[in-house]
Structure 1
Amino acid sequence: MKVTQHLWFEKDMAAAIRLYVSLIPGSKIVNTTAVEADNPSGPAGSVTITEFTLGDQAYMAIEAGPLDPFNHSFSIMVEVETQAEIDRLWDALSDGGSIEQCGWLRDRWGLCWQIAPLRLRQLLDDPDKAKVKRVTEQMLKMVKLDIAPLEAAAKG
């Protein structure tokens, strides 16, 4: 059994996927196919399907005109080890998009992303409830997540 996330783009899918695979190590475009038959989204050749990976996750995307816009019910979470990685991904993905609270952003195509340090998960899994509360309160004040203040909050 194989599970693949599927994304529907109204337009400019190829540019989006090129950006995504350039940002996430171990990613690649596997295959791109133009649908060679008339279909509900348009005439032959107007619909494109691309298979790609982001890290070790399989994705398929279709560019087939308007349908439903991306929303928060689906997001791609990228957990990284360093602040430099957070900054790099944040800057690239938010360019032309919009930033939100708690490490969330929308890229220029409207896809929602969560860019988070791996350390945050460790801090939130700590058995010390007071520590978890301090870290959570600090995170809720942030837009782009910053590891140093989260660590400081954990220490009290």
Structure 2
Amino acid sequence: MSGLTLCLWFDGQAEQAARFYVAAFRDGGKPAELGPTMRQPADAPVLTAEFTLAGQRFLGLNGGPAFKPSMAQSLCVECDDQAQIDHFWDRMSDGGQQLDCGWVTDRFGFAWQIMPRAILSMMRDPDPARSARAFAAMQTMKKLDIAALRAAQDAA
């Protein structure tokens, strides 16, 4: 654990979201754990729901309708292969929206970047032409395709 917890603001859906995210990550082959919930007072609705996704701690806070998720913050899922990309793309966009360049919003309004682990090395290729080709290919995609990104990078 990093000692850093991300707090996500919900309007009454923190526990539902925690269960959804944990199931998506477990089914996608990544470690995930549902933690405790807190109610104040004890018979009140859930105030917070704790969960861990791929080693990162989260706190879902039912803070009410005052704040909504924004595309200005996103969560990145680094995927090892195309099967993981396909899984997280389908799962996280279920009830949400599929966007360009590997981005989706989930049913709770949070933005996720579903990306291959190799994308950063492609973008940082020491050959600027290779990097530019991979970047240009990515800009034409919704769900990222590792084979197509590598083919574009390697094209002469």
Aligned residue identity for 2:49: T
- Within-5 A mapping of 1:36-115: 36=41, 45-115=44-114
Partner of 1:31: 36
Unaligned residue ranges in structure 2 (runs of 5+): none
Query: Secondary structure of 2:133's match?
Result: helix
Supply the distance in 1 between the matched residues of 2:40 and 2:6 (Cα, whole angstroms).
19
Supply the distance in 2 between the matched residues of 1:7 and 1:13 (Cα, whole angstroms).
8
Supply the distance in 1 between the matched residues of 2:141 and 2:23 (Cα, whole angstroms).
26
Runs of 4 or more off by more than 4 Å in structure 1? none
Q: State the 1:36 CA deviation.
A: 1.3
- Between 5-14 and 101-110, report the one with greater CA deviation: 5-14
Under a length normalisation based on structure 2, what TM-score does the superposition of the two structures give? Answer: 0.90
Q: State the 1:15 CA deviation.
A: 1.9
Q: Is the 8 A contact 2:15 2:46 kept in 1?
A: no
Q: State the 1:96 CA deviation.
A: 0.8
Unaligned residue ranges in structure 1 (runs of 5+): 38-43
Aligned residue identity for 1:82: D
Number of equivalent positions: 150
Q: State the 1:50 CA deviation.
A: 1.2
Supply the distance in 1 between the matched residues of 2:39 and 2:47 (Cα, whole angstroms).
4
Between the aligned residues of both structures, percent identity stands at: 37
- Over aligned residues, Cα RMSD in angstroms? 1.5
Partner of 1:20: 21
> Which deviations, in whole Å up to 9, do the C-alpha atoms of 1:54-99 show, x marking residues without a partner?
1111111111321211011211100111111000111111011011
Partner of 2:12: 11
